[in-house]
Amino acid sequence: MTGSPLPQAGVAAPASPAPRRLPVGSLIYAALSACAVFVAVSTPLNGYLLNILMQAATYAIAVIGLTVVLGLCGQINLAQAAFFGIGAYAVGLGTVDLGVNFWICLAAGLAAALVMGAFLGASTLRLGGHYLAMVTISFQQILTLVLVNWIPVTHGPDGVPRIQRPALFTDGQVYLGLCLAVLAVVAWVVWHMPRTRLGRAMRAVRDNELAAGVTGIDVYRTKVTAFAIGALLAGLGGGLFAGGFTYVSPDQFAFAESIVFLTMALLGGVGSPAGAVIGTGLLILIPEWLRFLKEIPGLYLAIYGLAVILIVVFMPEGIWGFLGDQVKRLRPRRPAPPRAGDLVLTQSAASAGPVLEVEALSKHFGGLKAVDEVSFTVTRGGIHALIGPNGSGKTTTLNVLSGLYKPTAGRVRLDGRDITHLPPHARAAAGLGRTFQNIRLFRSMSALENVVIGAERPGNEFAGADRATLQARARAALAFVGLEARAEEPVSAFSYGHQRLIEIARALAGNPSLLLLDEPAAGLNTSEKGALTGLLRRVAAKGVTILIIDHDMTLVSDVANHITVLNFGRRIADGVTATVLREPAVIEAYLGQDSAEPGAGRRDPGLRTDLHPA
Amino acid sequence: MDLVLQLLFTGIGIGAVYALVALGFVLIFRATNVVNFAQGEFSMVAAFLMVVFAVDLEWPYWLSFLIAIGGMALLGALFNLGVYYPLRHRTYLPVIISTIGASIFLANSTLALYGPQPQVLSPVFETQGFLVGPVFLDSQYLLIIAVTAVLVAFQYWFFEHTLIGKKLQATSQDKEMAALLGIPVAGMIMLTFVYSAVLGGIAGILVAPVLFVSIQMGATIALKAFAATIIGGFGDVTGAIIGGLALGIIETFGAAYVSVPYKDAFAFIVLVAFLVLRPQGLFGERIAEKA
Amino acid sequence: MRTTRRVFLGGAASAVIGGMAGPGVIRSACAQGAASTVRIGMVLPVTGPGADAGRFALNGAKLALEQVNKAGGVLGKPLEIVTEDDLTTNPGAVLAFSKLASQSDLVGFLGSIRSTQNHAMAPDILKTGKPVCFGGTDPVLTQMGNPWLFRFRPNDSYSARVIADFGVTTLAKKKWAIIHSTDAFGTSGAKALTEALGKAGATIALDQGYTNQSQDFTPVVLAIRQSGADVIGSYFTFENDLGIFARQLRQLGVTVPWVGSPSIVNVTALKLAGPSLFGTYGVADYAEESSDAARNFGKAYRAATKIAPDNQSSWTFDAVTVLALAINKAGKTDPQAIREALLAVRGHEGAEGTYNFDKNGDGLHGYNVVKNDKGNIVFDKRIDFYQG
């Protein structure tokens, strides 16, 4: 391109690095954005360049919406053009037919997009994946048909011409400046979003919904929020777009455009608003650059299609993801943070009653009674073990306790409060922490971030605290399990045993009144098991009650002071460790199972990994 | 009454087309867990191959058909190698985008090679159809319905009663397990793509005499077939067939008794209703918790 | 993987740089040529559903270009046409036009045959302030007070009046079924036809819209059958819809006369629908037998392209011819002067008919009625509403 402002406008928006302490980055960013706006307003642009830049700026805002919903929260949205259209039509119809002020129309469009997004999300986000894709496609199609056919209101396929721009911004370039300024603000907000509580919750949901739930994140609400924010930004982009082109018609907001938005987001890198801006810029420019191939119809779009495939194959994280990797490699390591303090685990010593009461709890899968009227009580302090042979219903019990399964019958009380019908995140808020047999960490985050999410569980005293407090808490928890020195490393860099420790640290940082551990010794070597034994004793010494499931009888008999034994979903023994381990029924269940009950171990292999009943 | 019968016949005919394309969706989805957005383009390419050989070169219909089907098998294989295989270890999103890229590429390279003119492919039968009482039965729609029925029967036999069919099933259910059992998973997925491309191709060739051969023909059908797949349930072949037929009938009757311009909306309204009220589809399995 | 990625990225980088440099090269090449030719811009669909129409439009324009240049060009220089693809979408049209408009040496433009695209481009056209000749037939386009729009086809108020006049007077049919697409073209046409039929004293038994790219018209045909209409008037946008409708109409035994908008007699429709359209009437802005000018254009067009001429090529032929004429008459490339010269055109015999521009910028005021006689388009009569 011949005009200079284009590259500047494209690069200026995302270029600032994340500020940690002083907002130096943000100040530089603000200065660069102001420069870009100034250049856009003052440099004479021809109509073509102005149109391209206007399109790029407004599209980029909508694509950043996809960064939130898809990049941060991992939910697909193939109706971004529909929300874009809602914003655009609100401005178009409002200013032209109703003669309402531009800003009021824009606000109405934002509200409409937000409400539609929240509604669509609320009605379908329990499904996820391809189903969400289909619902959004349907919404997109229906909206297009309404725009085309509801002629008295929408003007039908003619579209809405002569849309008013707001006073002060009637000049094309001044208006472009406005669009760039809005884009800069939106990009700045979304850039910082991953490190806010909401952003962390979204990333946690994206990485691992189950783990997010049990660490206290309301998965469903987080998803709906992300979806609504995505729709809101699309509406904002659309409203500005309508003012920019002063003409809107239904085919500008059709399904094909949603695909274009999605491709822009993935091409540039869905994880960051910088990627959104890059992707938008490129996908608007590439077809324009390739116009010189127009002699053969279709050729340039064919090349464009091919380019999309190549980029997806060779740049999996998008262009920004690729560039980001290079930058990270060059960036110097951060200086070591101050030494972590001691991990404080405060228990409400006042209530002397049992921590957990389980009454006649049952969980049936079809005709299979995985858990059958099991009752037991976990008293405050100390370590309670739930044991039993394979398929005895231990993990199912744990999943019912943490709310991942709904019980068929029975009652569960935590600290005297009935939690039988609460969803996982509400149980976490009530003071229940847990770990998983097959480790469930948030893969894209550092060890520290994982534990920060644990620390800010609702109900914890740190929930809503500032970043420094949360990080200090998380460091303390990591120090407690001996991993403080590696806090900044991504979790994928840790060994299996250490990942398990991070999971425990994540639960401990939330200061739970009861900690559920699902086979914590599985897959650990002897020395790691020894360390684990010590760790569990130290946790118990801090006053946290532990309910542990494990096969490893050495570990269990070493640490547990109370044992409940399950077999075939029923409780067969309960009592003080030494006594229970001597009971004949227990010995038979463990040692004599082959002779006593042929094929018992094979009865239902599915139960071993309870979370995958299919 | 004759009105209802006429609409029913048309609905089933259109529905059979959706079902045929939906079948291709389901097969690829079961094998790879991704939705192939270029499925409609398979139909379009096959129809153009027929135009090249049967109309332009005036080769015999059956020979052109065999060439077109062979071409589709090759395209399916190339599609797998170029669009799916490099991304097989990634999540479903990049694969979706990659298939979207492929769809743009196929549509526009056909345009570049063949030009924008819509083409006519004459029907297999000379006669346009029969009047049975007051109801006109279009011979091409009869053929479409028959071929769909035969293909469904074949598919059932193939998956349930042949070793290779069972290996394909095993692959679609659990790739790791299948690999441990010595099933060549990559080969099975290749076979799935080849077969899906052929299915899409047959659908395209069958509808060409009814809807004409144009660059856009694939996209329109694919979107509806998509909806049919959801209504039927993504995991299920029978579901795709019933979903396709149901969609065809709903659309036709909706257009006749409610509104013609909103015809395309019925498909999607029904779809949303299904997703909200019965997300597992008509016949599909429960959505398992996946994390 | 490492090396392939590096190779790919290298390639991508050079492609990007090449892309940046590309348009610049083209532009400088253009700048050099600017002095030696008079250039006009043309927005046309090269890709998308309208690509077909775009090809015909370009054929017509090129034919006119040859004739103009053979006759000495414009202002003593050869005329040149610069094209941009509008992707058959509205945003595409806006970008294509603004790209052309940014080249300051272009003295006039050819717009789109699709009304909705002209609507989309209208704000930019007003800003650019140079004459744009277009082919869209929505009457509103020339009534919005945009002084730079010049229509080279008769607008839909005329086509509707001709359809109504022919059906009611010549065919003596009073009970009408109106079938139209729900896009800008179809709805405005149907509205005008409803008005014209009301004035002619006919009744409307059915007014049925459909969305473009429908795959099935059975419900529409059955509705026609049930309405008891004895004549059909239609506004179809895309030929494949027309083809499917025509075939199903015949299959389901509807044989009443059918008078359609111009698309019913264009080349693609005839090819797609074949015998299903035999015996139908169409209003055609272009009919080969309607005048000597039309015959001459037809002959030249066939000689150049080996295909039959139709309105998609004839209007661009006329537009380029008349635009060149107006520039020569104005004696300069000043937009206002060209505009006045265009408005002053009277009695120009074009392929589409006789051009008499009114103050709104409408050049034509009548239509030909033609009949599809076993696949041959036969001229029936011309109905013209121009009054001095």
- The model's pLDDT over B70-93, given as tens digits with 9 standing for 90+, comes to 999 999 999 999 988 888 887 777
Let me know if residue C202 belongs to a domain: yes
Print the domain residue range for B158. 2-277
Closest-CA distance, A148 to chain B, in angstroms, reads 9
Confidence of residue C1 (pLDDT cuts 50, 70, 90): very low
pLDDT greater than 70 at residue A381: yes
- Is C55's CB within 8 Å of A297's CB? yes
Let me know if residue A321 belongs to a domain: no
Report which residue type is found at C229.
A
On average, the pLDDT of chain B sits at 84
Which of A219, A254, A289 terminates a domain? The answer is: A254
Domain identity same for C149 and C161: no
The whole-number pLDDT of residue A601 equals 39
By the 8 A CB rule, do C119 and A250 touch? Answer: no
SS3 A362: strand
ipTM attached to this prediction: 0.84
Q: For residue A419, what is the domain's CATH number?
A: 3.40.50.300
Query: Which whole number is the average pLDDT over C164-185?
Result: 90
Q: Which residue of C has its CA nearest to B134?
A: C252
**Where is average pLDDT lowest: B108-117, B275-284, C68-77, C244-253?**
B275-284
- Is A292's CB within 8 Å of C22's CB? yes
pLDDT greater than 50 at residue A16: no
Contacting residues of A for C128, CB less than 8 Å apart = 47
**Where is average pLDDT lowest: A104-113, A117-126, B1-10, B243-252?**
A117-126
The whole-number pLDDT of residue A330 equals 67
Let me know if residue B138 belongs to a domain: yes
Q: In the β-sheet with A383-387, what is the strand arrangement from edge to edge?
A: A432-434, A514-518, A545-549, A383-387, A562-567, A570-576
Let me know if residue C249 belongs to a domain: yes
Could you tell me which chains touch chain A, where touching means 3 or more CB pairs under 8 A?
A: B, C
pLDDT greater than 80 at residue C135: yes
The whole-number pLDDT of residue A591 equals 66
By the 8 A CB rule, do C60 and C66 touch? Answer: no
Domain identity same for C327 and C339: yes
Closest-CA distance, B45 to chain C, in angstroms, reads 16
pLDDT greater than 90 at residue B240: no
**A396 part of contact set with chain C, CB < 8 Å:** no
Domain identity same for C170 and C235: yes
Interval C140-154: pLDDT, tens: 889 988 999 999 999
pLDDT greater than 60 at residue C314: yes
Helix then strand then coil, in percent of chain B rounded to 5, is 75, 5, 20
SS3 A564: strand
Q: Which of B117, B138, B211 sits opposite C251 (nearest CB)?
A: B138
Closest-CA distance, A142 to chain C, in angstroms, reads 13
Query: Which whole number is the average pLDDT over B241-269?
Result: 86
On average, the pLDDT of chain A sits at 82
Q: Which residue of C has its CA nearest to B139?
A: C251
Enter the tokens of residue C325. Answer: 């004429």
Q: At what angle do helices C335-343 and C311-330 cross, to 10 degrees?
A: 120
Confidence of residue A332 (pLDDT cuts 50, 70, 90): low
By the 8 A CB rule, do C265 and C284 touch? Answer: yes
Backbone torsions φ then ψ of C203, nearest 5 degrees: -105, 155
Contacting residues of A for B230, CB less than 8 Å apart = 131, 134
Interval B165-215: pLDDT, tens: 888 888 877 777 788 888 888 888 899 999 999 999 999 999 998 888 988
The whole-number pLDDT of residue A238 equals 96
Closest-CA distance, A585 to chain B, in angstroms, reads 35
Interval A102-123: pLDDT, tens: 999 999 999 999 999 998 888 7
DSSP C130: S
**C119 part of contact set with chain A, CB < 8 Å:** yes
The whole-number pLDDT of residue C71 equals 92
**C209 part of contact set with chain A, CB < 8 Å:** yes
**C31 part of contact set with chain A, CB < 8 Å:** no
Closest-CA distance, B239 to chain A, in angstroms, reads 15
Report which residue type is found at B270.
V
**Residue indicated by tokens 């002209």:** C118
The whole-number pLDDT of residue C17 equals 44
Comparison of pLDDT for A23 and A50, the residue scoring more: A50
- Is B223's CB within 8 Å of A209's CB? no
Which of A254, A284, A304 terminates a domain? The answer is: A254
Domain identity same for C216 and C276: yes
Contacting residues of C for A157, CB less than 8 Å apart = 116, 182-184, 187
- Is A137's CB within 8 Å of B223's CB? yes
- Is A145's CB within 8 Å of C211's CB? yes
Percent of chain C with pLDDT over 90: 51
Quote the number of domains for chain C: 2
- Is A52's CB within 8 Å of C83's CB? no
The whole-number pLDDT of residue A324 equals 76
- Is C219's CB within 8 Å of B7's CB? yes
Rounded CA-CA distance A604/A608 in Å is: 8
Let me know if residue A484 belongs to a domain: yes
Quickly list DSSP for B78-102: HHIIIIIGGGTTS-HHHHHHHHHHH
- Reference B278, options A131, C90, A591, A478; nearest CA is A131
Domain identity same for C279 and C208: yes
The stretches of A125-271 forming alpha helices (DSSP H) are: 129-149, 151-154, 172-192, 197-207, 209-214, 219-245, 255-268
Quote the number of domains for chain A: 2
Top residue of A45, A48, A282, A294 to mutate, by most chain C CBs within 10 Å, is A48
Domain identity same for A76 and A217: yes
Closest-CA distance, C364 to chain B, in angstroms, reads 29
- Is B288's CB within 8 Å of A145's CB? no
The whole-number pLDDT of residue C66 equals 94
Q: Which of A127, A142, A301 sits opposite B104 (nearest CB)?
A: A301
Interval A125-154: pLDDT, tens: 776 566 777 778 888 888 988 898 888 888
Top residue of B89, B214, B268 to mutate, by most chain A CBs within 10 Å, is B268
- CA atoms within 13 Å, Cβ hemisphere of A568: 10
The whole-number pLDDT of residue A130 equals 65
- Is B226's CB within 8 Å of A134's CB? yes
Q: In the β-sheet with C231-235, what is the strand arrangement from edge to edge?
A: C203-210, C175-181, C231-235, C258-260, C281-284, C366-373, C376-384
Could you tell me which chains touch chain B, where touching means 3 or more CB pairs under 8 A?
A: A, C
Closest-CA distance, C289 to chain B, in angstroms, reads 26
**C214 part of contact set with chain B, CB < 8 Å:** yes
CB pairs under 8 A between B and C: 85
Rounded CA-CA distance A549/A374 in Å is: 15
Q: For residue C208, what is the domain's CATH number?
A: 3.40.50.2300
pLDDT greater than 90 at residue C139: no
**Residue indicated by tokens 């802005």:** C285
- Is B136's CB within 8 Å of C252's CB? yes
The whole-number pLDDT of residue A230 equals 95
Interval C57-66: pLDDT, tens: 999 999 999 9
Quickly list DSSP for C203-258: EEEEEEEE-SS-S--HHHHHHHHHHT-SEEEEE-SSHHHHHHHHHHHHHTT--S-E
Backbone torsions φ then ψ of C222, nearest 5 degrees: -65, -35
The whole-number pLDDT of residue C38 equals 93
pLDDT greater than 90 at residue A186: yes
Interval A487-497: pLDDT, tens: 888 888 888 88
Print the domain residue range for A157. 23-254
- Is C182's CB within 8 Å of A251's CB? no
**A326 part of contact set with chain C, CB < 8 Å:** no
Quote the number of domains for chain B: 1
Confidence of residue A2 (pLDDT cuts 50, 70, 90): very low
Query: Which whole number is the average pLDDT over A39-58?
Result: 86
Query: Which whole number is the average pLDDT over C329-340?
Result: 93
Q: Which residue of A has its CA nearest to C91?
A: A252
Query: Which whole number is the average pLDDT over B96-110?
Result: 88
Let me know if residue B24 belongs to a domain: yes
Interval A282-301: pLDDT, tens: 888 877 777 666 566 677 77
Rounded CA-CA distance B239/B229 in Å is: 7
Query: Which whole number is the average pLDDT over A334-355?
Result: 68
Domain identity same for A74 and A222: yes
pLDDT greater than 60 at residue C386: yes
**B118 part of contact set with chain C, CB < 8 Å:** yes
Those of residues 26-65 in B touching chain C at CB distance below 8 A are none
**C30 part of contact set with chain B, CB < 8 Å:** no
- Is A247's CB within 8 Å of C98's CB? no
- Is B136's CB within 8 Å of C253's CB? yes
Let me know if residue C374 belongs to a domain: yes
Domain identity same for C119 and C46: yes
Let me know if residue A69 belongs to a domain: yes
Q: In the β-sheet with C106-110, what is the strand arrangement from edge to edge?
A: C79-85, C38-44, C106-110, C132-134, C149-151
The whole-number pLDDT of residue C2 equals 46
Domain identity same for C127 and C165: no
Q: Which of A131, A208, A313 sits opposite B279 (nearest CB)?
A: A131
Confidence of residue C18 (pLDDT cuts 50, 70, 90): very low
pLDDT greater than 90 at residue A314: no
Q: For residue B224, what is the domain's CATH number?
A: 1.10.3470
Those of residues 231-260 in B touching chain C at CB distance below 8 A are 251-252, 255-256, 260
The whole-number pLDDT of residue B281 equals 57
Confidence of residue A14 (pLDDT cuts 50, 70, 90): very low
**A156 part of contact set with chain C, CB < 8 Å:** yes
Enter the tokens of residue C279. Answer: 């015996």
Let me know if residue A301 belongs to a domain: no
Say what the pTM is.
0.80
pLDDT greater than 80 at residue A22: no
Interval A441-489: pLDDT, tens: 998 888 999 999 988 888 777 777 788 888 888 898 998 888 888 888 8
By the 8 A CB rule, do C154 and C364 touch? Answer: yes
The whole-number pLDDT of residue A6 equals 37
Print the domain residue range for C165. 157-284+370-384
**C213 part of contact set with chain A, CB < 8 Å:** no
Which of A254, A273, A298 terminates a domain? The answer is: A254
Quickly list DSSP for A163-190: PPPPTT--SHHHHHHHHHHHHHHHHHHH
- Is B111's CB within 8 Å of C219's CB? no
By the 8 A CB rule, do B234 and B286 touch? Answer: no
Phi/psi-derived region of residue A19, left when phi > 0, alpha when psi is between -120 and 50, beta in every other case: beta
Interval A568-591: pLDDT, tens: 888 888 888 888 888 888 878 776
Confidence of residue C357 (pLDDT cuts 50, 70, 90): very high
Contacting residues of B for A255, CB less than 8 Å apart = 223
Closest-CA distance, B184 to chain C, in angstroms, reads 23
Query: Which whole number is the average pLDDT over A514-529?
Result: 87
Interval A239-297: pLDDT, tens: 999 998 888 888 889 888 888 898 888 888 888 888 899 989 888 887 777 766 656 66
Q: Which of C8, C46, C182 sits opposite A294 (nearest CB)?
A: C46
Rounded CA-CA distance C151/C359 in Å is: 11
Phi/psi-derived region of residue A508, left when phi > 0, alpha when psi is between -120 and 50, beta in every other case: alpha
Confidence of residue B290 (pLDDT cuts 50, 70, 90): very low
Rounded CA-CA distance A213/A402 in Å is: 9
Query: Which whole number is the average pLDDT over A322-344?
Result: 69
**Where is average pLDDT lowest: A32-46, A517-531, A599-613, C204-218?**
A599-613
Those of residues 49-88 in C touching chain A at CB distance below 8 A are 51, 54-55, 83-85
Residues near A527 by beta carbon (within 8 Å), at least 6 away in sequence = none
Helix then strand then coil, in percent of chain A rounded to 5, is 60, 10, 30
Contacting residues of A for B265, CB less than 8 Å apart = 141-142, 145-146
